[in-house]
C-alpha cells in the first residue's frame, strides 16, 4: 500500500523539478488545504490532493490549447 503522503523528493521526481521547487509547490498546496480547514504536515502533501490538483492543471492546459 502506498503512503498517503508524498515528500518533496517524490514530488520532484514525478514532475521532473528540483527538490527546492517541490517544497514550494507543497507549501502552496498545503496552504490551499489549510484554507479548506484541513490539518497539514509541513514538507508533505496528501497524495490524492496532489493528483487531483495536478490533473486539473494538465486538463486546464490541454483545454486552453484545444487538445
Q: What is the pLDDT of residues 21-58, one digit of tens each?
A: 999 999 999 999 999 999 999 999 999 999 999 877 65
Tell me how many domains the chain contains.
Answer: 1
User: Does pLDDT of 63 surpass 60?
Assistant: no
Helix pair angle (19-35, 47-65), 10° resolution: 100
User: Does pLDDT of 66 surpass 50?
Assistant: no
Q: In the prediction, which pLDDT does 65 show?
A: 43
Return all residues near 17 (Cβ < 8 A) that are at least 6 apart.
Answer: 11, 25
Cell numbers standing for residue 18: 528540483
Q: In the prediction, which pLDDT does 67 show?
A: 42
Domain that holds residue 52: 5-65
Q: In the prediction, which pLDDT does 55 show?
A: 77
Amino acid at each position: 500500500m502506498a503512503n498517503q503522503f508524498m515528500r518533496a523528493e517524490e514530488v520532484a521526481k514525478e514532475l521532473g523539478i528540483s527538490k527546492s521547487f517541490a517544497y514550494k509547490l507543497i507549501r502552496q498546496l498545503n496552504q490551499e488545504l489549510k484554507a479548506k480547514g484541513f490539518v497539514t504536515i509541513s514538507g508533505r502533501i496528501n497524495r490524492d490532493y496532489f493528483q487531483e490538483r495536478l490533473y486539473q492543471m494538465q486538463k486546464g492546459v490541454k483545454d486552453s490549447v484545444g487538445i
